[in-house]
Structure 1
């Protein structure tokens, strides 16, 4: 069901509707959607994070296997969420009305607003930092430039998606292929240091990247012509890009013996590496744009008639100012904590959506509260923290130590090597299935 009181006017010039009261323009096909998700998956954050998926002392093939397994699992879940967004034709936070009810959906909406603004700020910082290294210049002008461009892109999102699929994805692909050729021309040394304690903890890092886009997926796939196209293009586009970027980072570690941000410096050192990295920096703008746009669209779940362009301008200005003045690196653990909140939510949503009657997913303004689904969501989050507590240092260290103490109380080895994402998903999905089936049984008995 679409939102109640919908005014069936055409979307603004064939682009995304300006308010939640307008229907989405169904103008994206497989190429445009796959190009969008491929571009979103091509991020400099992945090669930098590759050090955390390396299994020290293990053959390189084991680490690469963890990357592939994590990408398949994460991208498949993202594809299912993307398909639901296309079928229902509503943004991500509105889609959650069918799960929790209209007012209860404000809870994930608030969390998503904080998450999106944080990641938009983080992306602007990454772009500016990388550009300043490539061009050996101060960082602040690139912060301003990235913030302005990302905000401008958010004003015409569907037009940007089409440009990304026609041009940007091919430029990024050429840069990636070139960097692969250069890296593979070097001898690959065994990786004796890395951040992964086991195969499944390495997989967990990779799974987290596609799942992190779950709250945003429907913001874009509501414009895709069919659920099948939306799901397939999202899974393939983002999954293949995830494998490529993590693999590039791991190979750079093996070839140059670098770590963390030093991976970028290593790639800059190859012939024409600066040009290739500069292309990837430019492509990185799409992630900042996506977070700015999705912040605006998420806010419309609460203020349906407010123009998304005004919201995007405010969000872009806020993210840019934060990037200029705020230590976003210190904020990063909090962003990961919010990400851990959304991991079990995707399990709850996908199971509840799959078990709902066709055409009965109510996203209207009168969608009734279904607070019972807060229970599996909470249980999944607790399971995540008991498996792998979100790490904080300094002021937030008490959070990590409290959950570590609960692990000890329950006899859970802090170095258990399990996948927190998979355990969280399993707990949340199983409890949701029980609740949904019991609810359906009671409904049949009343009938």
Structure 2
């Protein structure tokens, strides 16, 4: 994507982008995980978690809109060049993982549809088809992408209406006793963690905003509305039908072959962002490479992983993302919005050891809070505590920065 004025995004472009991204099988399946706490409590957890998570997500988007920096490159503000390299590697790995997860979940839903309609059962073929369409979406580029995305999101909006009608007309939604056991804190964590999983990507797109408020308002509204809706659909499906798979729901609604196209489309519009941002992140390490070509390669790698290594531990994958990126962005947001001493890149800063140590403490805290099963989940308290630790210690750790020049261990 170019920074030229023609490729700048408007408010409606951001809304379409993030609404399309949120209408995904992953969001529906994650909403289905909340079924054990019931429909009413589930909706409360989804609302509270998404408000908190999406607000934090937008703070990352503000940095991108103001500094015109991709998400991972912006971590140089707090962690230095080498720190951003480490986070680039971690982010590429999680984005390739997301690409694979989305392709697998999409292929499974499509395969379920074709198995019933035509007795065609081949996960590998559908993984290749979905992966190929994602790579094609990347190759088309931002100009063609915006037109296609508008059409795709309009069709996906119809999908949400159909799925909502199928699920919410069932009178058992509020009366049926759900199976399983889950605390409200775990439900909150699973609601917060999905919008925060986009935190390492958000600035990749808001940096292209025509106006800062367009990027923030459009992104917030598009993602919050779409994701909340998808979670609610998954929650309802898991309670009533005990199966949150969108393919099964659409077959139940007698959509037939139309269901096939809808599942593929929803998977492509979401997974495109993962593959594209994996390419953008990789450029933080090797900036001379072509953005679109690298993103296409990332899409191919994700497709191959989806074929060879089916990912089953989805919930643990979400927790792993939260443990790494919640404390990381807590430090960056604290530096940028609270301390405000380092709001620009320091080109000669290689490593900020103090920030790195606080980040590691945050990772340890995250897994402790997962065990505590706190009512607010793990992400929110860990980000708050990490921020407090950093606020109290950053002055003491000024001399822990390593620079290119001879004054390596001194304050700049």
Q: CA deviation at 1:182?
A: 2.5
SS in 2 for 1:369: strand
Match of 1:392 in 2: none
Q: Does 1:147 align with 2:105?
A: no
Measured against aligned partners, the alpha-carbon deviations of 1:111-139 in whole angstroms (never above 9, x if no partner) come to 10111111111111122111111222222
Is 1:51–1:195's contact at 8 Å kept on the other side of the alignment? no
Q: 1:317 to 1:55 in 2, by over 3 A?
A: closer
* Cα 1:122–1:55 shift into 2, 3 Å: closer
Cα 1:283–1:331 change in 2 (3 A) is closer
Indicate conservation of the 8 Å contact 1:36/1:161, yes or no. Answer: no
Q: Which deviates more from structure 2 when the two are superposed, residues 62-71 or residues 188-197?
A: 188-197
Judging changes above 3 Å, is the alpha-carbon distance between structure 1 residues 419 and 43 closer, same or farther for their aligned structure 2 residues?
A: same
User: Which residue is 2:24 aligned to?
Assistant: 43
DSSP 3-state at the match of 1:419: coil
Structure 1 residues 176, 94: CA separation in 2 closer, same or farther (over 3 Å shift)?
Answer: same
- State the distance in 1 between where 2:127 and 2:5 align: 32
1:432 is aligned to: 390
| Counterparts of 1:54 and 1:212, CA distance in 2 | 21
Aligned residue in 1 for 2:401: none
The separation in 2 between residues aligned to 1:254 and 1:274, in whole angstroms, is: 26
Distance 1:294 1:160 in 2: 18
Tell me what 1:95 maps to.
Answer: 74
2:89 corresponds to? 110
| CA displacement, residues 128-153 of structure 1 (integer Å, 9 cap, x when unaligned) | 11111122222222211111111122
Check 1:30–1:195 CA distance in 2 against 1; reply closer, same or farther (3 A cut): farther
More displaced 10-residue stretch of structure 1: 61-70 or 191-200: 191-200
Distance 1:52 1:126 in 2: 15
Secondary structure of the structure 2 residue equivalent to 1:122: helix
Q: Indicate whether 1:128 and 2:110 are aligned.
A: no
2-side partners of 1:364 and 1:305: how far apart?
Answer: 20
Match of residue 348 from structure 1: 331
CA RMSD of aligned residues (A): 2.7
Pick from 272, 277, 283 the counterpart of residue 255 of structure 2: 272
In structure 2, do the counterparts of structure 1 residues 259 and 25 end up closer, same or farther at CA, with 3 Å as the change threshold?
same
Q: Classify 1:42/1:164 alpha carbon distance in 2 versus 1 (closer, same or farther; 3 Å).
A: farther
1:177 and 2:177 equivalent? no
Q: Match of 1:3? A: none
Contact 2:128 2:303 in 1 (8 A): yes
Q: How big is the shift at 1:369?
A: 3.0
Q: How many Å separate the matches in 2 of 1:54 and 1:330?
A: 18
Q: Tell me how far 1:316 sits from its aligned partner.
A: 2.2
Q: Deviations over 1:285-306 (max 9, x none)?
A: 1222111111111111110111
Consecutive unaligned residues of structure 1, counting only runs of 5 or more, are 1-15, 390-413, 441-445
Query: Which of 193-202 and 90-99 deviates more?
Result: 193-202
Q: TM-score, normalised by structure 1?
A: 0.80
Q: CA deviation at 1:226?
A: 2.8
Change (3 A) 1:249 1:331: closer
Which runs of 5 or more structure 2 residues have no equivalent in the other structure?
399-410
Determine the structure 2 residue equivalent to 1:187: 171
- Structure 1 residues 216 and 69: alpha-carbon distance in aligned structure 2, compared to 1, 3 A threshold: same
- TM-score, normalisation: structure 2: 0.87
Cα drift, residue 33 of structure 1 = 0.8
| SS of 2:9 mapped into structure 1 | coil
1:303 correspondence with 2:286: yes
Deviations 1:262-281 (A, max 9, x none): x6424421232763564143
Deviation at 1:213, TM superposition (A): 0.5
